[in-house]
Amino acid sequence: MGLLDYYRQFADVDREEDNRIRRERRHRERALELERVPDLDLSGTEWPEFPNSEVVNASIYTARGRVNGYPDRHAEDVRGALARLHDVDPERIVVGNGAAELLQAAAMALLEPGDELLTPWPSYPLYPLMASRAGGRPVAVDWHERLESGISPNTRLAVLCNPNDPTGHYTPAERVAELAAALPERAHLMVDEALVHFQDAEEVDAVLRLTDAFPRLLVVRTFSKIYGLSGLRTGYAVGSTASAKVLDSISPVLGVNALSQSAVAQALKIGSAEIARRRDAVIRERHRLMDGLAELPVTADPSQANFVWLSVPGMTGLALANALRKENVVVAPGGPLGADDHVRATVRDDAATDRLLAALRVALAD
Amino acid sequence: MARSDPTESGGLFTGRPAGPPRYRRPATGTARQRGDKVLAAFILLLEVVLCLSLLGPQPLGWLWVGSQVQYQTGAVTAGISVIMIGCLASLMFTMVVAKRLDHWWKLVRRAAGYQQERGAIELIFAACVGVTLIVFTFWFLIIQGPGPSLAPTN
């Protein structure tokens, strides 16, 4: 290299040359992206799509407004909309920071040391935890058995996840009514209906209607699942007029934040058609997935949720999850959910169903 | 999965981004860089000399050439024309040379390890003009200007 050439190498990179290098690099990156098969995450139960932009805008509009002031601690707008949706008195509804917080608050309010919280198992792992936090004792009943078999004089609270996470089992309103009637005088029944929109066994509000007849029945719902607003952590509980004291004790002391209230109010305002579309899509795809699974050597319990609960004879859930992971499909191993021999796979769209079935075929062939 | 990142352009905007010019970085801490620092200082000195020559020596030189032309031809117009054209031509030529030197100064500075994004010719030229104006004003007003005529005469 000559003397001048040595210095010329430090000249500005020519704009065209610079652009050409960038284009080539971008093309290489795109080629790599096309070669890479992205992971399909079917381990969560939240809604996979972004929320409706109008819902997000409602929250942003509030954020740009008077967030220096406290929100409506009674969430009158949201409760009014929910009251119209469920045809109940607004006084029978409380809005909280997610269904889980309402459930935990109920456990704290109702359980005393020595009291028992009754729940089917496997079920939502929060239930035993919230009993322990409240100083009570969790009592798990195998989900195949009747929950009444676990009732004792110490039973103070029964929690039923309906449809049940992770099994997908749905307990119809008639059975819920039997359970509510069988509970001791001082015991409450909480039905966690976070996934209720995905069931097609009966009317969506069938269990909620029971609150008219059973004063110690509370139904808890969330905006985290079919409404696709998990990040806002908003849920609500519906009870009878006679349960006003319990409802008051589980409501957040200073209410739910203004951004969540705005988003949820807008979601309720515009959401019925969208919710129906999502519900139909999941139900349709769940049937298709179950049909596909029937042709494979797997055991899949009938599901009324937005997931299926699978097991393969002679294979642990973790091994099955790892085998599917190799095919870039992520499912939730059953161990942390209460059953080592199962996995939970979320129902999404037709492409996801096809990939899950294809991955299962490969995993089971190995 | 839909994209919500507003900075994700899908590769549409691959043009040069705003910011400093991009150039290759030399290896640092070499003996050559010490020599390049001296060379860069020398080139900078040349640029200063060239710019200063524009504002004094060159016009004066062309004035002398013009006077010779006038003397030889007996035509004032010819002398003035030579001065005007000569000054303009040497100005253009000097600026071209200075600009080229400035380009090489920038490269040598980069080779010496400095983060040199631009040349220095504009700054040098402005500084030379400023210095020349001050010197000229002092000469005109104090040394050769009205000062002596206002002073007491014998």
Percent of chain A with pLDDT over 70: 100
Is residue B10 pLDDT above 60, yes or no?
A: no
Q: Do B22 and A12 touch (CB under 8 A)?
A: yes
Phi-psi region of A96 (alpha: psi -120 to 50; beta: other; left: phi over 0): beta
pLDDT digits (tens, 9 = 90+) for B30-48: 788 889 999 999 999 999 9
Query: What pLDDT sits at residue B152?
Result: 56
What is the C-alpha separation between B39 and B57, in angstroms, rounded? 25
A-B contacts (CB, under 8 Å): 38
| 3-state DSSP percent of chain B in helix, strand and coil, to 5 | 70, 0, 30
Averaged pLDDT for residues A242-265 = 94
Nearest to B23 among A13, A26, A48 (CB): A13
pLDDT digits (tens, 9 = 90+) for B60-107: 999 999 999 999 999 999 999 999 999 999 999 999 999 999 999 999
Q: Is the ipTM of this complex over 0.85?
A: no
Is residue A124 pLDDT above 50, yes or no?
A: yes
Chain A residues in contact with B111 (beta carbon < 8 A) = 6-7, 10
Structure tokens at B11: 């590769």
Query: What pLDDT sits at residue B23?
Result: 82
pLDDT category of residue B12 using cuts at 50, 70 and 90: low
Q: CA distances (Å), A333 to each of A24, A43, A299, in order?
A: 42, 8, 15
Is residue A366 pLDDT above 90, yes or no?
A: no
Averaged pLDDT for residues A95-107 = 96
Is residue B2 pLDDT above 90, yes or no?
A: no
What is the C-alpha separation between A242 and A145, in angstroms, rounded? 30
Chain B residues in contact with A38 (beta carbon < 8 A) = 1
**Residue of chain B minimizing CA distance to A41:** B1
Residues contacting A292, CB < 8 A, separation 6+? A353, A357
For the whole model, what pTM was predicted? 0.67
Chain A residues in contact with B6 (beta carbon < 8 A) = none
Is residue B1 pLDDT above 70, yes or no?
A: no
Is residue A233 pLDDT above 90, yes or no?
A: yes
Fill in the amino acid letter for B129. V
Query: What pLDDT sits at residue B9?
Result: 52
Nearest to B111 among A10, A12, A26 (CB): A10
Averaged pLDDT for residues A302-312 = 96
Listed in sequence order, the DSSP H helices in A238-349 are 244-250, 258-294, 317-326
Q: Distance of alpha carbon B126 from its chain centroid, rounded?
A: 8
Report the gap between the CA of B33 and the closest CA in chain A (Å).
11
What is the C-alpha separation between B17 and A186, in angstroms, rounded? 70
